[in-house]
């Protein structure tokens, strides 16, 4: 028996997990059903060919929805690959950095640093701006972008530190963006980017697939002999099926994107996300027990980081949080304190529950 939707909802855990993150309850229910009987085939999605017309329809619809939600024009291709966002740290330079060229990177945290590490192995790589001097608590601004770069790599949202780019660099250099933790959370113009990638498990679906949207005219220029699996052009030609793709994560990502569209799309979710983030940041700023860890103008609407004035009271706060079923609010091991991730599927109600606990904590211990 599949657990009914009402049973899932009754549990009422407020899930602030940073990733893999919360998915809509109805998506979990539909995903569970597809594991038993997909498309009324009396077969599981997990036991049919990825080349069946039923799965071809899934991947085609997922691709079309990504294009629609990013607003990209013709000339962009959408891929669903394995290997996580971390494989894209290597595939991006491998496919876009010419053997004699230079790639530019903005270093805004651990993920950006890992991307830089891979690019350096593949070719000339220049870090043109960094916020490492202040432990990545802000977004660098007003840096110069050399016009000769093959591309400029940025990270739109820094999951660990809780910073987010509120605007993107204006440049003629092709922009590449790791949007793993804020894709489809706010309006962006996809056409401003040569390539966008995002691991699904933060805001788009479950772990196991990474979405890549790439402007095709950027490809095939490196002068490098390419390994097939790591070649975007091979993957495009194969329709993300050069090998067997991660069928289940792609399907659940499609369900999540359909849920987003049905509820009002990016315009709707952007407003909801702004309201959730404002509610929590207002409380952090008001509450005498807590303090935000990032520059105010760069605060992320997805990952809200904060610490306590008296860290010795953390166990007391954790106890209160547990009593009302708040889950996943401990900060990343590199930062400490707290991090509440407010991904698309997290309702305002959960943020209100966290705020209430913060207020109760202040009353008791201030
Ligand atoms: C989580 C995350 C990654 C790593 O994703 P994997 O799929 O685990 O490789 C990369 N970049 C950002 C911004 C992330 O949040």
Res. 10 pLDDT band, cuts 50 70 90: low
Q: For ligand 1, what atom is nearest to the CA of residue 19?
A: 1
Task: Give the pLDDT score at 335.
Answer: 86
Q: Is the shortest distance between the CB of 86 and ligand 1 below 6 Å?
A: yes
Residue 99 contacts by C-beta under 8 Å, 6 or more apart in sequence?
123, 222, 223, 224
Res. 291 pLDDT band, cuts 50 70 90: very high
Looking at the structure, give the CATH architecture of the domain made up of residues 265-365: Alpha-Beta Complex (3.90)
Question: 335 vs 149, which has greater pLDDT?
Answer: 149
Class of domain 28-262: alpha beta
pLDDT tens profile 183-219: 999 999 999 999 999 999 999 999 999 999 999 999 9
**In angstroms, what is the span from residue 151 Cα to ligand 1's centroid?**
20
**In angstroms, what is the span from residue 42 Cα to ligand 1's centroid?**
36
In angstroms and rounded to an integer, the radius of gyration of the C-alpha atoms of the chain is 21
**Where in the sequence numbering do the catalytic residues fall?**
111, 178, 202
Q: Is the shortest distance between the CB of 343 and ligand 1 below 6 Å?
A: no
Res. 3 pLDDT band, cuts 50 70 90: low
pLDDT tens profile 29-44: 999 999 999 999 999 9
Answer yes or no: is pLDDT of 262 > 60. Answer: yes
Answer yes or no: is pLDDT of 236 > 90. Answer: yes
Domain locations in the chain as residue ranges: 28-262, 265-365
Do 28-262 and 265-365 share a fold?
no
Orientation angle between helical segments 25-36 and 247-262, nearest 10 degrees:
140
Residue 121 contacts by C-beta under 8 Å, 6 or more apart in sequence?
90
**In angstroms, what is the span from residue 88 Cα to ligand 1's centroid?**
10
């Amino acid at each position: 028996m599949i657990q009914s939707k009402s049973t899932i909802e009754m549990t009422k855990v407020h899930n602030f997990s940073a990733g893999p993150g919360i998915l809509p309850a109805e998506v979990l229910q539909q995903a569970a059903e597809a594991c038993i009987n997909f498309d009324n085939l009396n077969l599981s999605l997990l036991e049919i060919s990825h080349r069946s017309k039923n799965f071809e329809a899934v991947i085609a619809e997922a691709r079309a929805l990504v294009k629609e939600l990013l607003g990209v024009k013709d000339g962009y291709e959408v891929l669903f690959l394995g290997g996580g966002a971390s494989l894209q740290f290597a595939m991006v330079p491998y496919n876009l950095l010419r053997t004699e060229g230079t790639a530019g990177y903005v270093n805004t945290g651990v993920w950006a640093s890992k991307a830089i590490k891979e690019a350096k192995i593949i070719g000339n790589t220049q870090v043109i701006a960094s916020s490492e001097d202040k432990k990545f608590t802000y977004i660098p601004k007003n840096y110069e972008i050399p016009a000769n770069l093959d591309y400029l790599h940025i990270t739109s949202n820094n999951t660990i530190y809780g910073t987010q780019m509120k605007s993107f660099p204006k440049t003629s250099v092709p922009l590449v963006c790791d949007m793993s933790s804020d894709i489809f959370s706010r309006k962006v113009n996809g056409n401003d980017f040569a390539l966008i990638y995002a691991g699904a498990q933060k805001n788009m679906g479950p772990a196991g697939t990474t979405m890549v949207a790439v402007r095709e005219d950027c490809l095939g220029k490196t002068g490098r002999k390419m390994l097939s699996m790591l070649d975007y052009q091979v993957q495009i030609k194969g329709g993300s099926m050069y090998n067997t793709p991660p069928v289940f994560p792609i399907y659940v990502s499609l369900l999540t994107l359909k849920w987003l569209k049905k509820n009002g799309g990016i315009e709707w979710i952007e407003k909801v996300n702004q309201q959730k983030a404002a509610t929590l940041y207002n409380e952090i700023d008001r509450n005498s027990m807590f303090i935000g860890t990032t520059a105010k103008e760069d605060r992320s609407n997805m990952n809200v980081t904060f610490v306590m004035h008296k860290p010795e009271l953390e166990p007391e706060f954790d106890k209160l949080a547990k009593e009302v079923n708040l889950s996943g609010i401990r900060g990343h091991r590199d930062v400490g304190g707290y991090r509440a991730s407010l991904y698309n599927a997290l309702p305002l109600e959960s943020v209100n529950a966290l705020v209430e606990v913060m207020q109760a904590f202040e009353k008791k211990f201030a």
